[in-house]
Structure 1
Amino acid sequence: MQKMMNLNEIKETIQGSPSVLLLVKAGNCGVCESVQFKMSELLKSYLQVKGMYVFKEDVPEITAEYVVFSAPTLLLFVEGKEIYRVSRFVRFDELKHILQLYEEKLE
């Protein structure tokens, strides 16, 4: 997973990649760390999905750009469009199901 440090870089990556899973996290957040670990493990099965994370403190404008009110928030983009969003309580079985639905589009 790639750490992102500015909004333009995030937007360019989302537009330039077939699929992106973005984690918006907060510093000193144990849940965020757990979600990041599980997300990186899940993405080992979906190599076509680019994994990125950003600390909302490092890029404060991320909260306004993607309407993120809490951390952790996971956003899945396919062909530049947001197709899935989940905050705080991430159900990885549901995320895996969504990735499987879009699997042929992701390749």
Structure 2
Amino acid sequence: MREFEELTTINHIEDFIGSHQLSFLYISRPNCSVCHGLLPQVRQLMEEYPEIALGHINAEAVEQVAGRFSIFTVPVLLLFVEGKEYIREVRIVHMDLFKEKLNKIYKNVIG
């Protein structure tokens, strides 16, 4: 199972997004039951997309993330292509629809 890189500062997050063609951020809080329930499903899904760099952000530890990405609740799933946000899913994520969106972008970018 692929692991998510822990991103602990805004600069680390910006570098992560900028240094990968495809980057995915999972933003959560430690006391969020929805976050903890969704993460294993996202981890399993991301096995199908080996070219996507995976990053995790604890929104309590990196408080600036809320302002940087206009986040008002967690979990938040963000996919970036060459530094530009292409997918944003918040709170209740329908995995089938999320996978469809990922497939379209991944096929267009990776081929």
TM-score w.r.t. length of structure 2: 0.91
Letter in structure 2 aligned against 1:35: L
Q: Secondary structure at the match of 1:42?
A: helix
Q: Secondary structure at the match of 1:21?
A: strand
Aligned to 1:22: 25
Q: CA RMSD in A?
A: 1.0
Aligned to 2:76: 73
CA distance in 1, matches of 2:109, 2:39: 21
**Residues 40 and 51, structure 1, Cα contact 8 Å, conserved in 2:** no
Identity %: 27
Q: Which runs of 5+ in 1 are unaligned?
A: none
Verify: 1:96 aligned to 2:96, yes or no. Answer: no
- The count of corresponding residues between Structure 1 and Structure 2 is 107
TM-score w.r.t. length of structure 1: 0.94
Residue 100 of structure 1 deviates from its aligned partner by 0.9
CA distance in 1, matches of 2:109, 2:95: 18
Q: Secondary structure at the match of 1:32?
A: helix
